[in-house]
Structure 1
Amino acid sequence: MPVLEVRRHTMRSKPGQHLSQQGVTLASLIGNSTGPFDLVWTSEKPRAIETAIAMGYTLTRQSAALGNLPKSILDAVAWPNDLESISKIVRRNNACERFARAQAEEWRSIAGELKDNQSALIVTHGAIIELGAIGFMPNATYSTWGDAIGYCEGFRFSQVEGLETCELLRVPSHLQLIHN
């Protein structure tokens, strides 16, 4: 059964585009507790590429779609925002709904390259990851998903008995000092 893991990039040294030392440390620790992955996709932005590398993975491909979010969509979802609120915005806002569906299709296309028992990692960005997950799982109970996705957090999608499942991946409590 193929597995698709989607994570937000780690911390960077703002306003720069490259990871901070804390970000490299967090990504390395998360990378040690996940994988291996047969495919690794990132956006074209340095912070996503560097996150995958800091996690210990070699990139397979990059996709502009994994990193391009129109400002109008970002503003509409009021990110950072909890997933239930974003899901309500997606239901009311046609542009957000189209973006969520398009992002989910990008993820499904990547997952479609997997054979049974293979897995893929996608490293993307805040707001994009929440919208993509809502598009990927349109009938989920978002109230259980909580706050916006933090650095190195994300989702693991798989199929169990023919049904798509979604596991929320949060940074473990013992890593919260690095995460903040």
Structure 2
Amino acid sequence: MRWLEVRRHSLTKKGSGRGRGSHLSTEGVDLARRVGAELGTFGYVLTSTSPRAIETALALGYAVDDAIDMPSGYVPDEVAHHDQWTWPRPYATYAELVERGGALAAVAHVHREIWTRAVLAVPEGSGALVVSHGGCIEPALVSCLPQGDHASWGAPFGHCDGARLEFDSGRFTSVRLCRAPIR
């Protein structure tokens, strides 16, 4: 068996200090360090090309093996920016949207493929880490586990929140949601 840890990037600078790509704030580096101290080792680390994702992986304590473009889960006419925070059951809502087969389903499929390639890059008994973004992790999770109890998964991903997925016999078999410590 292999596993995949997926984490949302950490806290970013605000205002004029934000910069292009939203660099991590001092608080974001601190949060990522605390989370990283609990994660263990990974055989492969993949991030989005966004500086905040790369910086999060480094602050977690991991060298980045690769950074790739990852499509946003905020797609016109389906999900506006941060919509998931207004939904009473965000993962169940994502599951319904993904099941419809529109643009969000296509994004979720791309992320599932990225995650599958990442976890297949490590040997049996090892894990991979992906650092990505809120709004794309959630629909990808429901795409990986379409029969999951989505209504019980709770809130969308805050900064440094994540999930650990088990991968066996060519598919994701279970998930454990991992919340970052209270900031």
Determine the structure 1 residue equivalent to 2:4: 4
Identity over the aligned pairs, expressed in percent? Answer: 31
- Is the helix fraction higher in 1 or 2? 1
Q: Report the Cα offset of residue 160 of structure 1.
A: 6.9
Structure 2 residues not aligned, in runs of 5+: none
Determine the structure 1 residue equivalent to 2:65: 60
Q: Report the Cα offset of residue 71 of structure 1.
A: 4.2
Number of residue pairs matched?
A: 173
What value does the CA root-mean-square deviation take over the aligned residues? 2.2
Determine the structure 1 residue equivalent to 2:114: 106
Determine the structure 2 residue equivalent to 1:119: 127
Q: 1:129 to 1:163 in 2, by over 3 A?
A: closer
Q: Report the Cα offset of residue 94 of structure 1.
A: 1.4
Distance 1:20 1:76 in 2: 21
What SS is found at the alignment partner of 1:79?
helix
Aligned 8 A contact 1:40 1:61 in 2: yes
Q: TM-score, normalised by structure 1?
A: 0.87
- The aligned amino acid for 1:29 is R
Aligned 8 A contact 2:75 2:104 in 1: no
Q: 1:19 to 1:5 in 2, by over 3 A?
A: same
What SS is found at the alignment partner of 1:24?
helix
Q: TM-score, normalised by structure 2?
A: 0.86
Aligned 8 A contact 1:11 1:23 in 2: yes
- Larger mean CA deviation between 51-60 and 75-84 belongs to 75-84
Distance 2:81 2:53 in 1: 23
- Larger mean CA deviation between 93-102 and 148-157 belongs to 93-102
Distance 1:102 1:127 in 2: 14
Distance 2:156 2:44 in 1: 25
